[in-house]
A and B are shown apart, each in its own frame.
Chain A
């Protein structure tokens, strides 16, 4: 089941031009990630986790090597095609939630479906389903400012999950949450991973997250140091 490949990465390098010269953030990465994985890229701050996730998410492009996501080479995508890939197949969860503050919980979760131009009744049903998975049904009409951090992150997960994407990329999703909330959202994501077969890829250095991973990819200085299946 976990063997059908969704993402394959070969000899990936990423350089940044900085005032101090060329900086190599990713220095030769080889990886494949399959369907329904619950995987984490783990490493200290500055090790290149976010850069890697951004490239997988087509928000950035490789400097060298090949990254293929769902059969599409990230380097070859133009901005419109990259947007289409994200819109149709990828979900993002951020450390700082990034909800749109003027919109209600319902509208925030509805937004990805508006981009997909789904019709009204279909959207409504999908949003309500997603809110139900996350236990947010009674918050549908609230604004982000009225919610706690844990609730905000659940809204962000609902927004990422609402279109049932193949892949969810979660960059430090627990960094702003207390232990109880962290465990709560992680359990929810494990659940969604089981039920919907969604692939989850985390970037994290949080032990609470690491405890839930089934595969742990350790990154140091832009290189994979270790890639292990854990016994979760």
Chain B
């Protein structure tokens, strides 16, 4: 019987084509939208995690409270012992010490007089220890535009935009004017070794990056760090594992009134990322819901129209000795077949588009230029295992639901009436 129905569906293009096309379009849109949202979420969180938030971040309680001002006078001290402890207690995690600092970059002329000046947002990270983790997180190898990465102390990277503004080139000397941890003025000379294009607005405007030891020297922050960022292995933000890390950390460092006691915050808790994650998930769920609803409505109506066309067929089948429920069941079988064909095709096409967008991405850098939040300029789709059923199941369901609704009309008609319509 199933084979008989399948033959009918494949041959009666008018009956099957419209629903199949509707399902394909709906499913592929859902799959693509889902992968796209995942990708945006993924790119944004990864970018935030790498450049700024870590999967977790450890700071002093006071620093955490005023984190917008990067108050280095409230930085963690005794960082070497703290790190040893962290590595011992959380052997699965990777840790990185960082100093964020603000200051002026002063570019002198040949006589040593100020030629140009500009405000800089500085990062002190590990560039020279031989461990390339931080270089990888900041994607420095690929972001390098001119020159090279620092290999000696006293070398600094500038964002390309900033260097152009100050008319500074690799090899030039610049002076960082900032304030030490104790509040006195700090001046430190660096040699610009290279320029960087990060591809994200806030980082490209006025960033400088130096090895953390050089920053410590410049700002009198011996054995201190504003932040220690921690990463799960594989660089994948796993909420559950992170929550375990937080719990264990809070057992080691119970909350206290000490302003300088280390505290931990997760990626979700920073930069509104949690809200963004939830919103994107919400949008995804809403999109799927709307999809199921509208597909069901469209397919219901398509089913009604198709059903009208088929009343004579149903009447004949009743006369030959099928009963209502069997006809209804075969309509459902047909819809399952149509739903399967449409959903599988739609999922495959949606995946292919997503795969393309996963590899190529959509470059929105021109739109993102003036963004003040840390967002990537190139958005990629991302295929996760959920993409296999996120469109498939609603596609199948809405086809079946649409058919069930339209098929009720068959029940409402009396046998003789169906039969009359067929005589007419």
Contact = CB atoms under 8 A, between A and B. Distances in A.
Contacts of B316: 94, 98-100
A1 B158 CA distance: 110
A159 B419 CA distance: 18
Contact of B318 (A50, A83, A159): A83
Interface in A84-112: 84-88, 90, 92, 94-96, 98-100, 102-103, 107, 111-112
Contacts of A80: 323, 325
Interface string B1-23: 10010011001100000000000
B154 interface: no
A24 interface: no
B252 interface: no
A119 to B, nearest CB: 13
Contacts of A87: 320-322
Given A80-B323, A82-B415, 17 more contacts: A59-B415, A59-B419, A60-B415, A80-B325, A83-B324, A84-B323, A86-B318, A87-B321, A87-B322, A90-B321, A94-B316, A96-B422, A98-B422, A102-B7, A107-B4, A112-B320, A115-B321
Nearest to A50: B423
A59 B324 CA distance: 12
9 contacts: A57-B319, A60-B415, A60-B419, A79-B324, A85-B321, A86-B321, A94-B316, A98-B312, A98-B315
B416 A54 contact: yes
A95 B8 contact: no
B423 A96 contact: yes
Nearest to A89: B321
Interface string B311-348: 01101111111111110000000000000000000000
B163 to A, nearest CB: 72
A54 B419 contact: yes
Interface of A: 50, 54, 57, 59-60, 79-80, 82-88, 90, 92, 94-96, 98-100, 102-103, 107, 111-112, 114-115, 159, 171
B213 to A, nearest CB: 79
A224 B334 CA distance: 46
Contacts of B7: 102-103, 107
Interface in B401-423: 414-416, 419, 422-423
Contacts of B422: 94, 96, 98
Contacts of B326: 83, 115
Given A98-B316, A100-B313, A102-B11, A111 B4 contact: yes
**Most chain B C-beta atoms within 10 Å of own C-beta, residue among A59, A84, A171:** A59
A102 B8 contact: yes
A162 B325 CA distance: 24
B121 to A, nearest CB: 70
A13 to B, nearest CB: 15
Contacts of A94: 316, 319, 422-423
Contact of A83 (B1, B312, B322, B419): B322
Chain A to chain B: the 6 pairs with minimum beta-carbon distance, closest first: A87-B321, A83-B323, A60-B416, A86-B321, A98-B316, A102-B11
A115 B316 CA distance: 13
B8 A103 contact: yes
B318 A114 contact: no
A79 B313 CA distance: 18
